[in-house]
Each structure stands twice: as C-alpha cells, then as structure tokens.
Chain A
Amino acid sequence: MNSAVIVFPGSNCDRDLAVALEQVTGRKPAMVWHKDSALPDGVDFIGVPGGFSYGDYLRSGAMAARSPIMAAVKDAAARGVPVIGICNGFQVLTEAGLLPGALMRNARLSFVCRPVPLRVENSQSLFTSQYDSGEEIVFPVAHHDGNYQADEAMLDRLEGEGRVAFRYLDSVNGSARNIAGILNDAGNVLGLMPHPERVVEPAHGGTDGRRLFEGLLEAVNA
C-alpha cells in the first residue's frame, strides 16, 4: 500500500502517523508538502495529520484546507482513495468540505489531553472492519478545538446513515451526540479527533489503534 502523509507548516503528528503506517504496511509513506500541486503516482491512501497547521490562526485547519495540495486530495477522495484526517487533519477535512460540520473550541474551554474510551459505532467501514460493532476501545486525545458541531438535520443524517464511526463514552469536549469521528457519504473519508497512530505498539501503553491501519491495509489490498 502506497501512503501519502500531507505536511502543513505547523503539522507535528505527521511523523507519528508515518511511523505507524510504516510499521503496519511495511512501506514508508511519502511525506507530501502542502505547496505541492500533485500527489505521487499510485497513492492508495492519504493521511492528513494532527498538529497546529498555520498556528490554528483564523480557525483551526482553515488555511491548511486551502493549500495547493488539497485540490489533489479532493480529487483523490472523489475517486474513492481512502483518506483519514486525524485531529487537526479532521479540522482540515471539514474546512475543505470533504466532511460536514465544524470543530469548535472545547465546551469547557480547556485543552484536553488524555486517553479516552470510545465506542466503535460502525464496524463496516474500510477503516473499522477489524473492530467489532459496539467495541469499546481507548485512543488518546490532545486538542483544544475538538467540539464537533453540525445542524440537527445533518446530525440525524449522520446517525441514520451509519456515518458516525466512533463515539466518546463520556463527554470529552462537548461534541454533539458525543461524536468522535465521522465518515463521508461514500465511506472512504474518515475524520476523527482521537489519535489512533499513538496506540499502535505496546510501548505506547495501548494498541487499539493498530487495527484501524490493519483494516485499511486489508481493504486496499483486497
């Protein structure tokens, strides 16, 4: 599986994501600078990593979402290439219109940085196929603007169409319906605030994130 990880000025979780991808897939991802106008040929998967792109200036992910490389990412997503946006990456994907809704300042205003229990709501997607439906897992979060909001009609639609991928078990940041991660209409784009790439090996204190990348690898090679 050929992966690409997009790097914006201020991204800081790109290397963790690259390490997780290399461990699981056996192949080093291409690190793609945001100013490039094209992705490498034959990219099977695109990761939009966490961090503080553009210092979160204006709005988190707002300027990164308008980077030159994003046109190529949108094209690839439209062609069905799997895309994951993690934390700042989720913010970038909502700002780019690849996922609905918006990520706002955490409801209690503090930066939340801890392992959180999640429930896998949809185990049918190519990202979550190696989890059981309703399985409870733990991923760490580290964010200030993780409060997922969308209008009621869109929230109902996400729930009804099975597009809520992960849900927080407790209130973490005020997200509507405790939504932690969502899928696009076609099911090939996933955005989530928690960090699966930070729990892929025992030294991380947990390995629940590994199966997300394993499921992805399996789907791409199917």
Chain B
Amino acid sequence: MKARVFITLKSGVLDPQGKAIHHALEGLGFSGVNDVRAGKLIELDLTDSTSNSDIEEMCRKLLANTVIENFRIEKLENA
C-alpha cells in the first residue's frame, strides 16, 4: 500500500526558499504569483497491515519537525 506524506511549513514560519522561488518565477515573467511556499513530498511503500496511526507516528517521530512543520497523509488505494 502506498502513502504520500506532504510536509509543509506552519503558517507564520518564514520561508526564504519559497521567496527565492517566487522571485525566480517573477524573473521568468510570471506576474500573477502572490506567494510561494515550498514543502516536501515523501512517498512510502508500506505493507498493507500498516495502520493510519503508524503512518502518523512516522510523521510525528521523524518525517516532520512538528515545531515548524505540518504534515498531511494521503493513502493511495491500489487500482
């Protein structure tokens, strides 16, 4: 079973990398960009018996630094 974890900075935390990306997009001529925040995607390939709370624990214990980051889990059902 596959899961995707999206890790993003908490709102209010300054994101200088997002700002740099914003400036670079503007430099390329994209004028409609109001703000950019950059995060991470972690893809997990897990045995089917892995529970939602297991994945949350992975996020809390390692994948996200909950001082400054949020996480969101998406489970991908096998087609």
Chain A residues at the B interface, C-beta cutoff of 8 Å: 58-59, 62-63, 66, 94-95, 100-102, 104-109, 149-150, 174
Contacts and interface: CB of A to CB of B under 8 A. Distances in A.
Contact of A107 (B14, B62, B65): B14
Contact of A58 (B14, B63, B68): B63
B33 interface: no
Given A66-B62, A107-B14, A149-B13, A101 B67 contact: yes
What DSSP secondary structure best describes chain A's contact surface? loop
B52 interface: no
Contacts, number: 33
Nearest to B40: A58
A86 to B, nearest CB: 20
Contacts of A105: 16-17
A108 B16 contact: yes
B20 interface: yes
B65 A95 contact: yes
Interface of B: 13-14, 16-17, 20, 61-63, 65, 67-68
A116 to B, nearest CB: 19
B63 to A, nearest CB: 7
A100 B61 CA distance: 16
Nearest to A100: B67
Interface centre among A62, A63, A104, A106 (most CB of B within 10 A): A104
B44 to A, nearest CB: 13
